[in-house]
Amino acid sequence: MKDKRVYIQEVATRDGFQNEAQFVDTDAKIALVDRLSACGYAKIEVTSFTSPKAIPALRDAEAVMHGIKRHEGVTYTVLVPNIRGAERALSCGVDEVNLVMSVSESHNRTNLRMSREQSFSQLRDVIGVVKQTKVAINVSLSTAMGCPMEGDIDQTEVLRWMERFAAEGVHGVTLCDTTGMAFPSQVCALCSDALAQFPELELTLHFHNTRGMALANTLAALGAGIDRFDASLGGLGGCPYAPGATGNVCTEELVHMLELDGYDTEVNLAELLSASGSLPRLIGHDVPSQLLKAGRRSDLHTMPCLSNDGLPEQRAFATGV
Amino acid sequence: MKDKRVYIQEVATRDGFQNEAQFVDTDAKIALVDRLSACGYAKIEVTSFTSPKAIPALRDAEAVMHGIKRHEGVTYTVLVPNIRGAERALSCGVDEVNLVMSVSESHNRTNLRMSREQSFSQLRDVIGVVKQTKVAINVSLSTAMGCPMEGDIDQTEVLRWMERFAAEGVHGVTLCDTTGMAFPSQVCALCSDALAQFPELELTLHFHNTRGMALANTLAALGAGIDRFDASLGGLGGCPYAPGATGNVCTEELVHMLELDGYDTEVNLAELLSASGSLPRLIGHDVPSQLLKAGRRSDLHTMPCLSNDGLPEQRAFATGV
């Protein structure tokens, strides 16, 4: 595994900010994306070209896309739900559009207000438009590892939707654990089959830490051969089904673990932590990131003052184990 | 892996409560242990026979041990730092004593106010006393996967201390990631070597979730063949080096993941969640457990009210992915 390249894709300014009650100023969004652009990401999902009425937090999508400075080597992607969104995104010169539908019929109807077949038909139209350009197309399949209403999602259903989109010529597919229902053995099985069946697709895993399993699932995905992950700075990104629970897998915690395990993410963890530390001021509350509180494994502490016998003057810590 | 037995050992009333500022009433501690005794644990670390001055939160160790109702099949263990603690523990009829020292010299001096050799010598005396009884002896090796002051801990050092205690005839050893510094590939290597070198020892892994890696590390340990884990209800158990960071690996999150992955823990998750929900009242603050907020994977939600066309009346959730 040593030095195996793993690609990190940041989603905080999209999946994170869309869930925030407090509007993040356009200038602050641009400054954050610019800061993240220097961190070594493979891809940044900058914003979402959804209806400003549906997601007012991202009503400034055009301004943000026009305001950011593009870095070479970073793919700038945006969420696009329909033709209108695609046209808006293309007018901003995005590198990639990220389409979205749910593998679960119930979730698709709840989240997108249409059946899966309606979604597919609409997204096929979007693909038709975008394919006339050089812009890459990714499809994010929500609830691919569990639906909060339907429960288990049959793996063959996931592979079937991947197949339909692969047939339309998309560049990549993201398997999304939208509400943190994935578990390691499931992830391993799904990823193995998906990689075997669609070797030509750029495959991304998108985990939420709703039930604490995001990094364990990452480990399972890595074991199956996955090398590309979405993550959210500070662990931003709530889940409407679990108020107060943590959001997307936290980028700095993901990178921290991957680097310790010998993977090469090309992400600058120190810069990431510094950027994460700026989030509470932007959104008005603390972020779920544990690493931000605890510091990196390599951030060592000094011993308390020692007395002459080489022992601490005071019992500093009470028999921690 | 299917149906492989994994043994869960609860430490909340010891590793959790010792870090709490608010004293938990003796009766409440007894009631909680009694409640946990019915949950299917292999072992419960009830309390700590340390000096009441050092850990006032557990100053009622005797009263708690005398007050609880023992369940058949549950091993009741207690932390014991020295001969005095061992005598107190033995007078309460414990099933096991859990001795403790650090693999890191700096951490041992900080935490226990003596050198490792002094600790070993003292613990050897304790082992001598306890071996005259039928009480089992476990040794918890703190900072076995990293020291907050020294950083990396050489794996050969960990195995060396295991060997010294194995030679004294202890029944089990717990490898403790005291401040959440372990990472998966390290855990896998250490566990594989420890299991190979000491097949006769009951080996426990004790993870903290300080940097979010506890469940990923658990997965790595399982892969290496470990089948016994300490965990803390609600994720209680702070780390003095990381104020505000999460504590021990959360029992309900551990059990939830293990059961989904097909392991047999024999722990009743519903009862566990119910008991975890009672903690905030006891300790006066929220607990780190995400599962308590999010609910189990199997706790499904109903779809929002549908209109005649089978679509939700209102857009319930804004394009979550």
**Domain region containing B227:** 7-294
User: Which residue in this structure is represented by tokens 């551990």?
Assistant: B254
Chain A residues touching residue B295 (CB < 8 angstroms): 242
Contact A149, B301 (CB under 8 A): yes
Q: What is the DSSP letter of B240?
A: T
Contact B240, A320 (CB under 8 A): yes
Distance from CA of A258 to the nearest CA of B (A): 9
The residues pairing with B264 across neighbouring beta strands, listed in sequence order, are B5
Distance between CA atoms of residues B146 and A294, nearest Å: 14
The set of residues, in sequence order, having a beta carbon less than 8 Å from that of B220 and lying 6+ positions away, is A219, B184, B185, B187, B188, B191
Chain A residues touching residue B110 (CB < 8 angstroms): 303-304, 312, 316-317
> What is the rounded average pLDDT for all residues in chain A?
93
Contact A228, A242 (CB under 8 A): no
CA nearest neighbour of B16 among B144, B206, B197: B206
Distance from CA of A65 to the nearest CA of B (A): 19
Secondary structure (3-state) at A232? strand
User: Which residue in this structure is represented by tokens 């960990």?
Assistant: B158
What ipTM does this complex have?
0.94
B149:A303 CB<8 A: yes
Specify the pLDDT at position B319: 52
Query: Considering Cα of A141, then A146, then A151, then A155, what sign does the dihedral take?
Result: positive
Nearest CA in chain B to A98: B321
On whether residue A305 sits in a domain, the answer given is no
Contact B174, B191 (CB under 8 A): no
**Number of A–B residue contacts, CB under 8 Å:** 235
Cα angle value A112/A114/A115 (rounded, 5°): 120
On whether residue A247 sits in a domain, the answer given is yes
User: Phi then psi for B228, rounded to 5 degrees?
Assistant: -145, 125
Q: Give me the residue from A148, A215, A301 closest to B213, CB to CB.
A: A215
3-class SS string, A51-111: CCCCCHHHCCHHHHHHHCCCCCCCEEEEEECCHHHHHHHHHCCCCEEEEEEECCHHHHHHH
Distance between CA atoms of residues B47 and B51, nearest Å: 12
Concatenate the DSSP letters of all residues of B251-266 into one string.
HHHHHHHHHHTT-B--
Q: What is the DSSP letter of A2?
A: T
Count of the separate structural domains present in chain A: 1
pLDDT tens digit string along B63-101? Answer: 999 999 999 999 999 999 999 999 999 999 999 999 999
On whether residue A238 sits in a domain, the answer given is yes
CB neighbourhood size of A191 (10 A): 21
User: Which residue in this structure is represented by tokens 């539908």?
Assistant: A101
Nearest CA in chain A to B174: A321
Distance between CA atoms of residues A295 and A270, nearest Å: 10
Specify the pLDDT at position B134: 97
Q: Read off the tokens for A98.
A: 């990220």
Q: Give me the residue from A293, A294, A315 closest to B113, CB to CB.
A: A315
Q: Read off the tokens for A242.
A: 């679990």
Mean pLDDT calculated for residue range A106-112: 94
Nearest CA in chain B to A20: B318
Distance between CA atoms of residues B203 and B205, nearest Å: 7
CATH of the domain at B138: 3.20.20.70
pLDDT tens digit string along A55-103? Answer: 999 999 999 999 999 999 999 999 999 999 999 999 999 999 999 999 9
Distance between CA atoms of residues A25 and A213, nearest Å: 32
Secondary structure (3-state) at B274? helix
Chain A residues touching residue B48 (CB < 8 angstroms): 319
Q: Read off the tokens for B205.
A: 């892994």
Does B239 qualify as catalytic in the annotation?
yes
User: Among B14, B303, B305, B321, which would you mutate to test the A interface (most chain A Cβ atoms within 10 Å of its Cβ)?
Assistant: B321
Specify the pLDDT at position B245: 75
Q: What's the first-to-final CA gap in chain A, in angstroms? A: 31
On whether residue B149 sits in a domain, the answer given is yes
User: Phi then psi for A219, rounded to 5 degrees?
Assistant: -60, -40
User: Which residue in this structure is represented by tokens 């040593």?
Assistant: A2
CA nearest neighbour of A272 among A248, A288, A296: A296
On whether residue B302 sits in a domain, the answer given is no
Chain B residues touching residue A77 (CB < 8 angstroms): none
On whether residue A301 sits in a domain, the answer given is no
pLDDT tens digit string along B19-65? Answer: 899 999 999 999 999 999 999 999 999 999 999 999 999 999 999 99
pLDDT tens digit string along A117-141? Answer: 999 999 999 999 999 999 999 999 9
Nearest CA in chain B to A148: B300
B109:A186 CB<8 A: no
The residues pairing with A78 across neighbouring beta strands, listed in sequence order, are A47, A97
On whether residue A149 sits in a domain, the answer given is yes
Distance from CA of B317 to the nearest CA of A (A): 5
On whether residue B316 sits in a domain, the answer given is no
Specify the pLDDT at position B67: 98
Q: Give me the residue from B146, B212, B306 closest to A215, CB to CB.
A: B212
Distance from CA of B260 to the nearest CA of A (A): 7
Q: Which of B176, B188, B191, B239 is catalytic?
A: B239
pLDDT tens digit string along A274-289? Answer: 999 999 999 999 999 9
